[in-house]
Chains A and B, each alone.
Chain A
Amino acid sequence: MSQRIDIQKTYKLFIGGKFPRTESGRYIKWTDKNETTVVNICRGSRKDFRNAMVSARSASGGWSSRTAYNRAQILYRVGEMLEGRREQFMAELTLQGLTNKQAKNEINQSIDRFIYYAGWADKFQQVFSRVNPVSLPYFNFTLPEATGVVAAIAPDDTSLLGLVSIIAPVIAGGNSIVILASESLPLSSISFAEVLHTSDVPGGVINILTGYRSELIEHFSSHMDVNAIIYCGHNTDDQKLVEINAALNVKHVIQFPIQDWSNDKHQSPYHILKCQETKTTWHPIGF
């Protein structure tokens, strides 16, 4: 009697709602601390990023023009799906070095964070819009509007919570995103893509790549169709590089040197605003 052989998971990229392998055919060998588990992670390339950007751009208009209520429900749905996959994330997070308790906390917080921003999706515009009392016979109002496509380098020291904390406010605000998962802890990021796949997030709104920061940061920050770049980390060379490249097409730059994403003070509607433009409209009042 032979023992049943486990089916091992293949970790792929998440682009345009699909799971392609990297076009480059390259991989990164990832092992747990004890080197008992070995996983091949896609080593995403600049062309993968380019493809993800195309998907993100084409999804952006449709996503931002959905009703806020609809976006809120979809974000909530992501939370629901995440809740249903606890076991998978427990296994991966512990494999990536967390204790059971830590893993459980990270999952709880990731779910809660999505629910937090699901709740904001149909409110932030209300809270941050205004009718401006101009001294002319005009109706003048200002509202936040999605900037478009956001490229993000996710926090490296957390596999799930950091990723979620970046993605949720960006898409709650109607943007699409291409995000580079944690280089050292990539497993849950790709599994999170599976959650997205089974939720109702339209393909292309969230694109998740894996690979080397050092290789991809240049392309993330220099791409001329990126409207905002989020960089999570402390590397001052990287920070500077992102800011210099942002000048190419005047991208918004958002730096998050935060280490402890588990603190609830790092969730805020002001995070949504970081990837919003301000639009003001004038119209005469008369008959």
Chain B
Amino acid sequence: METINIQKTKAIDQVNTRERVSRLFSRSIKNESKMQALYLALSMIDLTTLEGKDSDGKVKQLCYKASHLHYKHPGLPHVAAICVYPTMVPIAKKELEGTGINVASVATAFPSGMADINAKLDEVKSVVDAGADEVDMVISRGRFLSGDYNYVSDEISQVKDACGKAHLKVILETGELVTLDNVQLASDIAMEAGADFIKTSTGKVSPSATPPVVLTMLEAIRDFQIKTGKKIGMKPAGGIGTAKQAIQYLVMIKETLGDEWLSPNLFRFGASSLANDLLMQIMKQSTGQYQSKDYFSID
């Protein structure tokens, strides 16, 4: 294992970060630009169901929705991926065959990460064997908060190895890291250790993706690219339910990382209800009429 000298790289100021966020979020996205953004956001969704009560039927429905977003509106893109628990990977894989939509699975004792490393690695291998294209792991927050950064880093490296060809998204669970300094440090550790994407949250801890956290992670990605030339993806997850929020994040990406990141290859939304709101807005934009939720299927 190569040793990484892990330390905080630079200071972050919370209040200024919030101010930057509110400035970015005050961009006014209208007309053509809005329509384009809504389509773009749809294509970036990791349509997610991560409930203990998830059933085969629910996953099937979700998979159908993923590739048939709305019958009245042809030409819509499909979402980027379906994100499910490990046991649901085979069924999702089957349902999505030929659609171009990826299957992502959470792993590593999601959402707490409170398991032995070998158990985690076994879980990762099994979901990859079952066909998962993407693995969403969680970091060991307890170890991180106790300052055992090397453990966190080593764990990610091992999971990355276990992923093989599958893409690795590393969930920092920023709601438990509390400070932006921690968010940045955890982002750096994850990227150094081999993450393809860094992701804010499991969706099981409040707060989940907050705009200052997302901005901090985007800036960490930018700095990592400057340092290493590598492009790491970003996935905010949890609490992003409206088209307005999604568009605000697109503005944030555009002005922090540039147009190249405005793609499902490098940016995803982890969300369950966002797709419908985007669809409602698309309908509103094209018809001029405000929409009702009753006309959009809940899957």
Does any Cβ of B come within 8 Å of A286's Cβ? yes
Question: How many angstroms from the CA of A284 to the CA of B180 in the assembled complex?
Answer: 15
Does any Cβ of B come within 8 Å of A137's Cβ? yes
Most buried by A among B13, B14, B15, B179: B15
Does any Cβ of A come within 8 Å of B28's Cβ? no
Contacts of A69 in B (CB 8 A): none
Contacts of A137 in B (CB 8 A): 15, 18
Contacts of B179 in A (CB 8 A): 287
Which residue from chain B places its CB closest to the CB of A136 in the assembled complex? Answer: B15
Categorize the interface residue count of chain A.
under 10
Contacts of B13 in A (CB 8 A): 284, 286
Interface string of B117-148 (1 = CB under 8 A from A): 00000000000000000000000000000000
Query: How many residue pairs at the A-B interface have CB separations less than 8 Å?
Result: 14
A88, chain B: closest CB distance, angstroms: 61
- Give the residues from 205 to 249 in chain B that come closer than 8 angstroms, CB to CB, to chain A: none
Does any Cβ of A come within 8 Å of B16's Cβ? yes
Interface string of A258-287 (1 = CB under 8 A from B): 000000000000000000000000001111
Contacts of B16 in A (CB 8 A): 284
Contacts of B14 in A (CB 8 A): 284, 286-287
Does any Cβ of B come within 8 Å of A128's Cβ? no
Most buried by A among B14, B16, B179: B14
Question: How many angstroms from the CA of A286 to the CA of B14 in the assembled complex?
Answer: 6
Question: How many angstroms from the CA of A285 to the CA of B15 in the assembled complex?
Answer: 7
Which residue from chain B places its CB closest to the CB of A283 in the assembled complex? Answer: B15
Which residue from chain B places its CB closest to the CB of A137 in the assembled complex? Answer: B15
Interface string of B7-39 (1 = CB under 8 A from A): 000000111101000000000000000000000
Question: How many angstroms from the CA of A286 to the CA of B16 in the assembled complex?
Answer: 9
Question: How many angstroms from the CA of A285 to the CA of B18 in the assembled complex?
Answer: 12
A264, chain B: closest CB distance, angstroms: 48
- Give the residues from 139 to 178 in chain B that come closer than 8 angstroms, CB to CB, to chain A: none
Question: How many angstroms from the CA of A241 to the CA of B15 in the assembled complex?
Answer: 50
A119, chain B: closest CB distance, angstroms: 40
A261, chain B: closest CB distance, angstroms: 50
Question: How many angstroms from the CA of A138 to the CA of B14 in the assembled complex?
Answer: 12
Which residue from chain A places its CB closest to the CB of B15 in the assembled complex? Answer: A284
A255, chain B: closest CB distance, angstroms: 44
Which residue from chain A places its CB closest to the CB of B14 in the assembled complex? Answer: A286
Interface string of A131-172 (1 = CB under 8 A from B): 000000110000000000000000000000000000000000
A49, chain B: closest CB distance, angstroms: 48
Question: How many angstroms from the CA of A286 to the CA of B12 in the assembled complex?
Answer: 10
Contacts of A138 in B (CB 8 A): 15
Question: How many angstroms from the CA of A54 to the CA of B18 in the assembled complex?
Answer: 48
A284, chain B: closest CB distance, angstroms: 3
Question: How many angstroms from the CA of A285 to the CA of B16 in the assembled complex?
Answer: 10
B182, chain A: closest CB distance, angstroms: 10
A282, chain B: closest CB distance, angstroms: 10
A146, chain B: closest CB distance, angstroms: 31
A285, chain B: closest CB distance, angstroms: 7
Which residue from chain A places its CB closest to the CB of B17 in the assembled complex? Answer: A286
Question: How many angstroms from the CA of A134 to the CA of B16 in the assembled complex?
Answer: 16
Which residue from chain B places its CB closest to the CB of A284 in the assembled complex? Answer: B15
Which residue from chain A places its CB closest to the CB of B16 in the assembled complex? Answer: A284
Question: How many angstroms from the CA of A138 to the CA of B15 in the assembled complex?
Answer: 9
Contacts of A285 in B (CB 8 A): 15
Contacts of A287 in B (CB 8 A): 14, 179
Which residue from chain A places its CB closest to the CB of B212 in the assembled complex? Answer: A286
Question: How many angstroms from the CA of A137 to the CA of B18 in the assembled complex?
Answer: 10
Question: How many angstroms from the CA of A122 to the CA of B14 in the assembled complex?
Answer: 36
Interface string of A72-104 (1 = CB under 8 A from B): 000000000000000000000000000000000
- Give the residues from 153 to 195 in chain A that come closer than 8 angstroms, CB to CB, to chain B: none
- Give the residues from 199 to 258 in chain A that come closer than 8 angstroms, CB to CB, to chain B: none
Question: How many angstroms from the CA of A264 to the CA of B18 in the assembled complex?
Answer: 54
Which residue from chain A places its CB closest to the CB of B178 in the assembled complex? Answer: A287
B18, chain A: closest CB distance, angstroms: 8
Question: How many angstroms from the CA of A81 to the CA of B16 in the assembled complex?
Answer: 54
A287, chain B: closest CB distance, angstroms: 6
Which residue from chain B places its CB closest to the CB of A286 in the assembled complex? Answer: B14
Interface string of B91-126 (1 = CB under 8 A from A): 000000000000000000000000000000000000
B127, chain A: closest CB distance, angstroms: 37
Question: How many angstroms from the CA of A137 to the CA of B15 in the assembled complex?
Answer: 7
Which residue from chain A places its CB closest to the CB of B179 in the assembled complex? Answer: A287
Question: How many angstroms from the CA of A138 to the CA of B13 in the assembled complex?
Answer: 12
**Other than the known A285-B15, A286-B18, A287-B14, what 9 A-B pairs have Cβ atoms closer than 8 Å?**
A137-B15, A137-B18, A138-B15, A284-B13, A284-B15, A284-B16, A286-B13, A286-B15, A287-B179
Interface residues of A (CB under 8 A from B): 137-138, 284-287
Can you list 14 pairs linking A and B with CB atoms under 8 Å apart?
Answer: A137-B15, A137-B18, A138-B15, A284-B13, A284-B14, A284-B15, A284-B16, A285-B15, A286-B13, A286-B14, A286-B15, A286-B18, A287-B14, A287-B179
5 A-B pairs with least C-beta separation: A286-B14, A284-B15, A286-B15, A137-B15, A287-B179
